[in-house]
């Protein structure tokens, strides 16, 4: 029996390795082609399911039974992130960074954007406070100047008329009129003016004085008027 098996093995011949390799490559190609086709079918199925899900979310949102579709939310979030990238120079690697790293990156970018604005607001508040203080100081100086130097005649103090000065002025006018009457023919004929004439002259003089000094206070020095009247009599 052993001899028989040895004889069969000796006369069987050698196996062709090239042929075996071709058979193996064909089998592998068939298997890889099947895998690729399966992956392609899976992609088509996933896209179809996504489209159905979007249609379902859109229908629920339009009917008032659901929130905004996830695709619309993601599109708006992407628009916001792109604008932040443009304004804040925010570099985010969404596929590599963790949630904590993303939050830190966003906080740092916002601080860089907000800190200059806060500094400007503080500067404006300081300037406004300084302007208010300056206005108060100017008002204080104006009040002090108005108290020291009156700038109009209305602000000048009104001096009440003294009774003695006013009577001396009337007496001076009476003496002046009497001296004038002495030089007239009537004065030389009668020698002196009667009492009624003197009263009329005094009233006329007082009326003229009141009309002349209506807006001003009559404040004359008594000694000056007496000396002037004495010198005129002499």
Which pLDDT tens digit goes with each residue over 151-208?
444 444 544 444 445 455 555 555 555 555 444 544 444 444 466 667 777 777 776 7
Please state, in angstroms and as integers, the Cα–Cα distance from residue 18 to each residue in 23, 24, 30, 174, following that order: 9, 10, 18, 164
**All structural domains of the chain with their residue ranges:** 15-67, 160-233
Using the structure block, give the residue that is written with the tokens 């708006």. Answer: 76
Specify the 3-state DSSP secondary structure of 143. helix
Q: Print the SS3 string covering 61-108.
A: HHCCCCCCCHHHHHHHHHHHHHHHHHHHCCCCCCCCCCHHHHHHHHHH
Band of the pLDDT at 213, cuts 50, 70, 90? low
Q: Which candidate, 206, 192, 117, places its Cα nearest to that of 163?
A: 206
Contact 168, 202 (CB under 8 A): no
Structure confidence by residue, pLDDT tens digits, 56-111: 888 888 888 778 888 888 888 888 878 877 777 777 777 777 878 888 888 888 88
Say if residue 129's pLDDT is above 50: yes
Compute the distance between CA of residue 80 and CA of residue 92 in angstroms, rounded to an integer: 13
Q: Look up the pTM and report it.
A: 0.32
Average pLDDT, the chain: 69
Total Cβ atoms within 10 A of residue 201: 19
- Alpha helices per DSSP H over 151-194: 163-182, 185-190
């Amino acid at each position: 029996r052993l001899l028989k098996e040895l004889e069969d093995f000796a006369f069987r011949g050698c196996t062709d390795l090239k042929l075996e390799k071709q058979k193996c490559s064909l089998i592998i190609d068939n298997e890889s082609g099947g895998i690729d086709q399966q992956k392609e079918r899976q992609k088509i199925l996933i896209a179809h399911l996504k489209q159905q899900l979007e249609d379902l979310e859109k229908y629920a949102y339009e009917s008032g039974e659901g929130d905004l579709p996830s695709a619309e939310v993601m599109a708006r979030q992407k628009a916001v992130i792109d604008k932040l990238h443009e304004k804040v120079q925010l570099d985010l690697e969404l596929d590599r960074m963790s949630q904590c790293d993303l939050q830190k990156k966003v906080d740092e970018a916002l601080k860089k954007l907000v800190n200059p604005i806060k500094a400007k607001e503080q500067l404006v508040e300081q300037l406004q406070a300084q302007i208010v203080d300056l206005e108060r100081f100017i008002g204080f100086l104006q009040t002090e100047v108005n108290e020291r130097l009156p700038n109009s005649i209305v602000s000048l103090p009104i001096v009440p008329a003294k009774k003695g000065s006013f009577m001396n002025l009337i007496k001076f006018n009476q003496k002046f009129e009497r001296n004038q009457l002495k030089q007239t023919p009537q004065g030389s004929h009668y020698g002196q003016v009667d009492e009624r004439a003197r009263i009329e002259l005094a009233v006329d003089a007082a009326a003229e004085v009141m009309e002349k000094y209506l807006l001003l206070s009559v404040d004359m020095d008594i000694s000056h008027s007496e000396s002037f009247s004495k010198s005129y009599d002499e």
